[in-house]
């Protein structure tokens, strides 16, 4: 009886965790198809009421990119939040696929990544609806921090403070809530 009770409790906890972190394919559900024209993507973002354009610079065989797709970008809660607030695109830093940049020039993904001074992958770059860079983050980002990064842009907090100030204030608020409960 005792073991059955423990097993039921364990399954209940596992079930709660599974539903809290429901996942699905990042390629199909996080990234938009992209039309290869960043200026047109901005126009679409404006028309759909999005807050910004997120470009994820990645490359084939990148372990950190794979980690992000399997552990953060695959989460339904992340996909839904980012999908509501942003147009999300993926560019290969070594890619030869042509695209039009914000100025309308035709370049390859690789040339655009070089122009954007991308040093490693993954690199997450948020652009405002005029094509100006808001903020960038490089490397793996934990789920909570990735959510905060999105909130930093979506709420417009970047207009009044730095990302580090926003994250510090957010962790201070989280600490206050958990100690007062």
Residue 26, phi then psi, degrees to nearest 5:
-70, -40
45, part of any domain: yes
83, part of any domain: yes
Q: Which residues form the domain of 58?
A: 23-141
- The pLDDT score that the predictor gives to residue 171 is 74
- The pLDDT score that the predictor gives to residue 181 is 45
What is the number of structural domains in the chain?
A: 1
169, part of any domain: no
- The pLDDT score that the predictor gives to residue 179 is 41
- The pLDDT score that the predictor gives to residue 172 is 63
Rounded Cα distance between 169 and 160, Å, is 13
35, part of any domain: yes
Q: What is the CATH number of the domain that holds 133?
A: 3.40.30.10
13, part of any domain: no
Distant-in-sequence, close-in-space partners of 165: CB < 8 Å, separation ≥ 6: none
174, part of any domain: no
177, part of any domain: no
Q: Are strands 52-58 and 86-92 parallel, antiparallel or unpaired?
A: parallel
pLDDT along the chain (181 residues), means of 10: 40 45 91 90 95 97 97 97 97 96 96 97 97 96 96 97 92 53 45
- The pLDDT score that the predictor gives to residue 69 is 97
121, part of any domain: yes
């Amino acid at each position: 009886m005792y073991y059955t009770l423990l097993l039921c409790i364990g399954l209940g906890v596992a079930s709660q965790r599974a539903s809290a972190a429901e996942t699905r394919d990042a390629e199909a559900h996080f990234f938009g198809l992209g039309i290869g024209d960043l200026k047109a993507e901005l126009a679409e973002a404006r028309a759909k009421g999005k807050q910004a354009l997120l470009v994820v610079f990645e490359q084939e065989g990148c372990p950190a990119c794979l980690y992000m797709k399997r552990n953060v970008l695959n989460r339904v809660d992340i996909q839904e939040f980012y999908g509501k607030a942003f147009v999300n695109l993926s560019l290969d830093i070594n890619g030869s696929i042509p695209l039009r940049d914000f100025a309308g020039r035709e370049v390859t993904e690789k040339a655009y990544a070089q122009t954007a001074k991308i040093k490693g992958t993954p690199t997450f770059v948020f652009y405002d609806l005029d094509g100006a860079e808001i903020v960038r983050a490089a490397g793996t980002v934990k789920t909570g921090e990735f959510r905060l990064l999105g909130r930093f842009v979506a709420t417009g907090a970047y207009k009044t403070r730095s990302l580090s100030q926003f994250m510090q204030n957010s962790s201070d608020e989280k600490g206050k809530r958990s100690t007062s409960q």
